[in-house]
Amino acid sequence: MPSTSLKRTTPSSTSTTDLKASIKRVKKTPVTEDADSESEEYQQTPMSVLKELFSGLKEQVDAIEKWQGKLQTMKVSKALDPAQFSEIFSGKGTLKQPTPTNNPKSAVTMISFNPDQTIELFGNRWKNNALKGVEWSVGGPYPGTPFPFTLKSVQGHAVPVVVKSMEASYSKKTKKVTLKFECTAGQRYRILHNGRKMMIKD
C-alpha cells in the first residue's frame, strides 16, 4: 500500500501593516461639527442683540462714580453676521459711509444717530431701563481769587444719563459692530464754602 505523505500546513500570518490597516478601518470616525452651522451670535434675534448692546452700555454708565456735566465716551462691540447687521441697522439713523460721495468702496459702514433715533432703535428697552448716574459738584482749586483755595467735590442726587449721539461702525472684514455713545448727566457747578452753588461755563 503506497505510503501517504501528510503535508503539514500552518496558518498564514498577518503582517503588521495589514493589522494596522484593519484596525484603522474599524476605528470609529470622530464626530466633527457641521461646517455650515452658525455660531451663537449669528442665531440671536435682533431684540436679543439690542438687549446685549444696551446691557453693555448700562454697565459702563454704572461704572462711572461721578457725573459732572461733561461728555463721556463709551464703546460697546459685538460680533454680528453681515445679514443680521443689515436687518438691525439698515434704514436707521443717517448713513455716513459708504455713500456715493464719501468712501463709496469702503468695507466699513458708519451710521450716525441723534438722541431720538437712538431711542427709536432700542425701543422700549431704552425707555424701560432709563440710564441713571449720580451727580457730583466739581472740586479742586478755585481760581480767580487773591488767595486760591481748594473746593471739595460734593455728592448730589441721582440724575438721568442722556445720550447726545451714537455712531454705529461695522467692518465686513472683522464682522464686528462697534457702537460709540456720547453721554452726559447732571450740571457743571461748584459748591462754595458758604454752600452756594456756582455754575461753570466751559
The per-residue pLDDT for 29 is 44
String of DSSP letters for the chain: ----PPPP--PPPPPHHHHHHHHHHHSPPPP---TTPPPHHHH--HHHHHHHHHHHHHHHHHH---B-SS-EEEEEEEE--HHHHHHHHTTSSEEEESBTTB-TT-SEEEEEE-HHHHHHHHTHHHHHT--EEEEE---EEE-SSSS-EEEPP-EEEEEE-EEEEEEEEEETTTTEEEEEEEEE-S--EEE-TTS-EEE---
pTM equals 0.74
Q: What are the pLDDT tens digits along the chain (202 aa)?
A: 444 444 444 444 444 445 444 444 444 444 444 444 444 444 689 989 999 999 999 999 999 999 999 999 999 999 999 999 999 999 999 999 999 999 999 999 999 999 999 989 998 767 666 799 999 999 988 766 666 778 999 999 999 999 999 999 999 999 999 999 999 999 999 998 888 888 988 6
